Structure formats: C-alpha cells, structure tokens
Amino acid sequence: MNCELSIAALLRSYRNGTETPRRVLTGLLRACADAPAGIWISRISEEQLEGFLARLEKSSPEALPLYGIPFAVKDNIDVAGLPTTAACPDYLYRPERSARVVELLIEAGAVPLGKTNMDQFATGLVGVRSPYGAAPNRLAPGYVSGGSSSGSAAALAYGLCSFSLGTDTAGSGRVPAAFNELVGVKPSRGVLSCRGVVPACRSLDCVSLFARNLEDADILLKTTAQFDPEDAYSRVLPERAPLPLRWKFGVPRDEDLEFFGCTAYQEAFQRAVTRMEDAGGEKVTIDFSPFLAAARLLYEGPWVFERYAAVGEFIERHPESVLPVIRSIITPSKTPHPAEVFRAMYRLQECRAAAEAQFAGVDLLLTPTAGTIYRIDEVEADPIRLNSNLGYYTNYMNLLDFSALAIPAGRAAGLPFGVTLVGRAFDDRLLLEAARRFRGAERYPIAVCGAHLAGMALHSELEALGARFLGSAETAPRYRMFLLENGLLPKPALLRTGREGSSFYVELYDLTAEAFARFVASIPPPLGLGALELKDGRRVSGFIGEAAVAECGCDISGFADWRAWVAAQAKNARGI
C-alpha cells in the first residue's frame, strides 16, 4: 500500500479525497492474499467486503470514528460469517454473531479483513504452536513473533491492517507487541467484553489491542471499553485521576530482574529506565518477588484446569486434533485435590496483598516485556522451558488484576525490544499518559568526528544541547576524511568509499528529539547528517560530507583521528 495506515492518517486521506475505502480495502485484501504464510487462517471474501463497502459509501468519515479502518482479528474471537478455529481445524465453528468487541468496532466503521494465526487454544507465548505454521517475524527473521496472538501482531507489522485484536491471559497480547515493535494494550480485566471469545482461562482472559502508535491505542480503547451486560465478567472503566506532574515508577530489584543470558536486553532495559527518568519519573526500587510468586501459580497451580474447563472435553474426544504440547498442558495427568484449589487461592491473596503494598509508593511499574527473544529452532528444541521464560514478566498480571501497556523501547543488538508499563486495575488511561511522556523523552544517538569531539572547539554546542556521552567507537573501514577550511573553523568531512577505506575515531552522544533537530539545522553544507556505519556493525547518525567535499577538501585520511590532525598542526605552528 502507498498510503499511511495509522488511524489518523487514513481518516485524513479519506476526508481530503486522496484515498477511498474501496481502493484501500480492496488493495489490502489482495496484499493479504500474497502475505507470507503463517499470518492468516481465513479472510473475508470479495462479496463480504462489498457488504462493508456498501455501508461505508452511504456514510462519511465525519459520521463514523473508524470509517473504513481495516483490522485483523485473532482466530479465537468470533467474526460473523468467518469460521472460528482457535488454530485447531477440527474445532471449527461458524458463529452467527460477532464478538461484542468486534461489533463495537464495526459499528464505528472499521472493517475486519480476516482471522489470524495463533498458538493453538491461546496456549503459548511463542507463536509457533499452530498447525498453520509459525507466524513470521518481519523485524527479526528466524526469531519467534511472540504468541499466542502471533498472527495479529504479524498482520500489523507487515502493513496489512491499521490495528488488530488479540487476547491476553498470560502475556499473549504483550509479548508479540514487544517482538514486533507495536503498542500492546492489556486492559484491566473485564473492561473489554470477552463475549464471543473462545476462553483460555475465562476468569482471567482479556481481549487485547495491537496498535501502530499511542494515539491509535487511545482511540481503540475509547471505542471498545464499553460495559457488556451479556458478559458476566464485564466491568466499567471508571474515570481516574491523571498521572501527576511529579510521579514515581517502580523497577524490580537487580536480583529480581532476569534476562536469561541476553545482555543486549539487559542493557536496553537500563536505557529505558534512564529514559523514563528523563521523562520526569522518579525511580523507586521495589521487591518484585510477590509478583513472581503469583506468576508461578498460573501454571503450577490449579488455574491450568480452567483451561481444561474451556476445551478439555473437546481434547479428550479429539486427542489427535490437538498439538501434543498443547494437549500436555491442558490435560495434565494429575488432578489436584480440591483442597489444593483453596490453598492456591489463599496463596494468591497473600501475593496480591504483598504486591499492592509494593505499589503503595509508586504510580506505576516499569519492567521488560520479555527478558529475551529466541530463535524458532531454539523454541522447537526446548518448547516448554523457553516458552515459560518469555512469561517471566507477564504471567502474574491478570491473577493480580493489574492493567498493562506494552510499548517499543528501541533495539537491542538489532533485535526488537519493548517494555511494559504496569498499573493498578482501571489505570489504563494513566498508562497511556505515562507512555506519551516516555515517548517524548526519546533520545537519538549521533556520532561526531571533528570539532564537536570532547576538548575541541565546538564541543560546547553539544553540552548546551544537553548531549549525553555514550562512548567512543570507530567507523567501519569504508570512509575517507577530507579537510574543509571554508569557514571560521577547519572541519573534517567523512565520505563513504567503496571497498577500500579507513576507520576513524568517533564519539557517540545522544540528544532529545528537539535538541537533535536543532543540532541538525545548524550543520552547514557541504556537511550533512547521514547513516554512519561503525566497525561493530551498528549504524548511527553522523557527519557525512556531500560528494563536492572530495573536490574542495584535502584528503587527511592518514591521521585516522581529527585530534591527531589538530595536534600535528599545533606542532607545525610551533616549528617543532
């Protein structure tokens, strides 16, 4: 598609006439047919699309808040006219009525394009437990896409829709968000109706939202957070006090943090903590052990039998229709004594009280969404343990009745990384505000190689902009350095060469978005800012010269470091 698919941008295109729902939706339906395997289980037909288009063409983007906005639906959520399988073909049924959340979206003008792949019966956090294949990870090929709402996240990441629906019982709407650089709303329990959803653990299930950005997430939450009298677990989302100007966020103690050997994720989380402080939050270290104790209850306690209550009888009747790993989880060999259920409930209440005590001194928590990411072949070789690892920061959430918002937080050694903001029940809107502040504190790395180096004549400009030193590095050996003397101060300019070139010393700093823009605006031609490749393979913004530099400048590549050239000139001036 050539148009921007965020909700605001697409509505703007409809309103100014540069796009029409017919052109956008028919184009997307064709794109969905050509999409990589593992994303879709079923899609609407051209005839079904015509039904949606006929309604839209009788209305307008001013009348419907989601006019012509395409979305994808996880295949455990009913859409009238499409089969529901929960990624088990023999479980298939055809609902006459859509799930309540789908009804609300369609009433607002949105159009469901189809049903997406998932870990079978929503049992998994990996996105590979499906007879329809593993959902692909567009950002990290070969790595898991996260589950169980894998296809919904992939459909959005591949640009096949504007938003998508998932479910989240133990992390299924947050882990895929992190692994696909999406916003993942895990609402407070009951805020989004679960009527028309194949249950995993009915008392814990949440319908979740995948969005491209925070603004879309806000619109979708307002549209779908409606009380449903036909859902016994439905709850009203009340108005709550906004996030105060001075606020505190909790971070687990070092001994409670777990990254499963992934140092890149560990470093990325520390950057996220610093960024949250830059956003105005005060960090408070909390005891995370009550949260972890509650998380263990989800699969080590009796709640696993709630999954049996949902689909266990089907599995008993059709054992060969279900993947072995799913069958082993939902139909365990040992049934607990009824007394164990009550003991687990007492233990959960103890964990809840202890966790709420940790919350008493903060407005929200900040954790990694997942402590690591795995390759598909790693998960296939060790499916239970690695899947469990991905739930370390997610499994406690619904048991303790918290709200959560998963957001992207940059890359970790080139891999997608995300954090989760955790709130009390009904803090859903507060978390969106905290995420907006986190986004506003985003900083951009930049490499400098000349007069802006520490101790050089223009370094004070970086200091005035609040630049933060990140470390020193060397460029990849693909550059030449030229001297420019067409201003008050001599400056170097790097030109990228072919295969033969040299490496040069650079210093890495980061700036806020506003400071970065001011810095870029001050760079005079023929200098500019471009993608600079470092020796370790990273790419950062850095000073790059225009082609004219080679004609007007003097090649000083032999010095390999601008400060070495400056020192040589000083010696010459003293006659040494």
For 523, the 3-state DSSP assignment is: coil
Distance CA 364, CA 288 (A): 13
User: Residue 74 catalytic?
Assistant: yes
- Strands, E, within 194-327: which ranges? 207-211, 247-252, 281-286
Catalytic residue among 13, 74, 98, 193: 74
User: Residue 222 catalytic?
Assistant: no
Distance CA 157, CA 180 (A): 6
Phi-psi region of 50 (alpha: psi -120 to 50; beta: other; left: phi over 0): alpha
Residue 569: Cβ-neighbour burial (10 angstroms; 0-12, 13-18, 19+): exposed
Catalytic residue among 13, 98, 130, 148: 148
Place of tokens 């400098």: 448
String of b and e for 497-533 (b: at least 16 CB within 10 Å)? eeeebbbbbbbbbbbbeebbeebeeeeeebbeeeebb
Distance CA 10, CA 212 (A): 12
Distance CA 553, CA 492 (A): 9
Q: Which two tokens stand for residue 342?
A: 């009550």
Q: Which two tokens stand for residue 416?
A: 């997608």
In order, the DSSP letters of 456-479 are STTHHHHHHTT-EEEEEEEB-S-E
Residue 119: Cβ-neighbour burial (10 angstroms; 0-12, 13-18, 19+): buried
Catalytic residue among 152, 162, 172, 193: 172
Catalytically active residues, by annotation:
74, 148, 172
